[in-house]
Amino acid sequence: MTTLQEDKLIDCSGMLCPVPVIKTSKAIKEIQIGQVLKMISTDPGAPPDMEAWARQTGNELLDSHQESGKFIFYFRRVK
């Protein structure tokens, strides 16, 4: 189990593609470089989408796992 501590949390539960990607891209701009964003989603398409988003934007996906039916992501803002 991860002990990551987020600086900001967004909950995208109930939202489908592309909203989690859009909300994540907005939220990451609201934290400082080096800080951590936690995103919660119920969209089954989110895991591959969020991995791709991190790859494309150059931000780091620190952790991604499932917790009681929800998808949890931790990103570190790199740029």
Partner 1 sequence: MSKSDPNAPRRLAIIASKGTLDWAYPPMILASAGAAMGWDVAIFHTFYGLPLLLKELQAEVSPLGNPAMPMKMPFGPDGFQKIDWPIPIAMMAAPGFNALATNLMKQLFKNKGVASIPELRAMCVEAGVNMIACQMTMSVFGFQKEDFIPECTVGGAGMFLDYAADADVQLFI
Q: Does 61 bind partner 1 (CB under 8 A)?
A: no
Catalytic status, residue 12: no
Residue with tokens 């931790």: 74
Minimum distance of partner 1 from residue 64's CB (angstroms)? 17
The phi, psi pair for 29, rounded to 5°, reads -75, -10
Write down the catalytic residue from 4, 9, 16, 17.
Answer: 17
Interacting residue with partner 1 among 6, 7, 19, 47 (CB under 8 A) = 19
- Only one of the segments 8-16, 32-40, 60-68, 70-78 lies at the binding site for partner 1 (rule: CB under 8 A); that segment is 8-16
Tell me the torsion sign for CA atoms 51, 55, 22, 37: positive
Beta bridge partners of 60: 76
